[in-house]
A = this chain, B = another copy of it.
């Protein structure tokens, strides 16, 4: 059936529900090049304003999945379960979680991305390990899932290719921040990847792109519904992203911190969030193993080493922070009332750990070590942050930003909770 792009845009603009036929036609015609970018961007903006009903969104997501290949992981000897985070500052959880959950008996197909803006990308972090490669073929990925149980690699171009075009278009047309568009973009790739179960870590707070709990709930329940409708057991965990997760923010810095956690140590918040997400993932695939044991007995670390080696990386390589280094100290005494994750994320980005455009390189060693957390008592002159950069120019840029990252007051703030709500169907 053939429609006119103008009619579809106008219908959505006027708040109508698009029919399955209209949605199928417009996405297929866009893929064929018959609907132009300027028409699709107008439609995306109309969707930004008018939203999509769940039936529309399900069809929209179906067509994005159908635009490319889909993997089938059901033939593997273990159940598959994946995790997706909507992006936070210092979020290195995947590096620990994938091997941990594999050590407990599931397999974890983590197709990841690179960072843009103030949030880092898992692939950028692992790239700081000499020899490690992100690009795997579908067959390599499957083989590694069978042999090692965990894989963190780049999503292949064959999965939901229309999403790739739509994402690039949204990025330049101010249409990123739309719950149906975000949901269909994330879920089309996860569903196409073939995982049987999925835990969504939906970040909310200053350092996340979702700032309010209401919006986080809406995004989470939209994605959970989409997953369940497509036969993927899906649970969302809302987690606080007001202050950075752990101490390290930067690529190699976060890998170093992840190794501490994999060896049974590391920051409490990173350990606790990882364990909570691992439990939820294991529940979804019916594995009754306590992930705490697998972290403490070294099994998770062993899987991590195998996972890195399987992708050409040297797990024993010594990772070092960037050479230009500075300590930022407190200029007043009191309680740390906030450590602004957005501010720290931007500082790390400016120090060289992040990129402004997709094609920019990132520094492996640059970043921020956060030496205080909300609620800490601090005296004047005590260290707050360590900054790392490859040169003085980047250091200066990061220094300028980090000033505003900490607030110190006289009253001790309430203890922050990371785990907020869990959203199931």
**Which residues of A pack against B, CB within 8 Å?**
5-6, 9-10, 13, 36-46, 48-49, 169, 171-175
Complex A-B: 19 CB contacts under 8 Å: A5-B172, A5-B174, A6-B173, A6-B174, A9-B173, A13-B174, A36-B38, A36-B172, A37-B37, A38-B40, A39-B41, A39-B173, A39-B174, A41-B41, A41-B45, A42-B42, A45-B45, A45-B49, A46-B174
How far apart sit A38 and B39, CA to CA, in the bound complex (Å)?
7
Determine the residue in chain B with the shortest Cβ distance to A9. Answer: B174
Of B9, B46, B48, B172, the contact of A38 (CB 8 Å cutoff): B172
A162 to chain B, nearest CB (A): 15
- Which chain B residues border A13 with CB–CB below 8 Å? 45, 48, 174
How far apart sit A9 and B45, CA to CA, in the bound complex (Å)?
10
How far apart sit A109 and B36, CA to CA, in the bound complex (Å)?
37
Determine the residue in chain B with the shortest Cβ distance to A171. Answer: B6
How far apart sit A49 and B39, CA to CA, in the bound complex (Å)?
16
The answer on a CB contact under 8 Å between B45 and A172 is no
- Which chain B residues border A38 with CB–CB below 8 Å? 36-38, 40-41, 169, 172-173
- Which chain B residues border A175 with CB–CB below 8 Å? 42
- Which chain B residues border A49 with CB–CB below 8 Å? 45, 49
How far apart sit A40 and B42, CA to CA, in the bound complex (Å)?
9
How far apart sit A13 and B6, CA to CA, in the bound complex (Å)?
20
- Which chain B residues border A36 with CB–CB below 8 Å? 37-38, 172
How far apart sit A37 and B39, CA to CA, in the bound complex (Å)?
9
- Which chain B residues border A46 with CB–CB below 8 Å? 45, 174
A42 to chain B, nearest CB (A): 4
- Tell which of A13, A36, A40, A45 has the most Cβ of chain B within 10 Å: A45
Determine the residue in chain B with the shortest Cβ distance to A39. Answer: B173
How far apart sit A169 and B37, CA to CA, in the bound complex (Å)?
11
How far apart sit A37 and B171, CA to CA, in the bound complex (Å)?
14
- Which chain B residues border A9 with CB–CB below 8 Å? 173-174
A7 to chain B, nearest CB (A): 8
- Which chain B residues border A41 with CB–CB below 8 Å? 38-39, 41-42, 45, 173
Q: Apart from A38-B40, A43-B174, what are 8 other A-B pairs with CB-CB below 8 Å?
A: A6-B173, A13-B174, A36-B38, A39-B173, A41-B45, A42-B44, A42-B45, A45-B46
| With known contacts A13-B48, A42-B42, A172–B37 Cβ distance under 8 A | no
Determine the residue in chain B with the shortest Cβ distance to A13. Answer: B174
How far apart sit A48 and B10, CA to CA, in the bound complex (Å)?
11
A140 to chain B, nearest CB (A): 36
A175 to chain B, nearest CB (A): 6
How far apart sit A10 and B46, CA to CA, in the bound complex (Å)?
13
- Which chain B residues border A172 with CB–CB below 8 Å? 5-6, 36, 38-39
A173 to chain B, nearest CB (A): 4
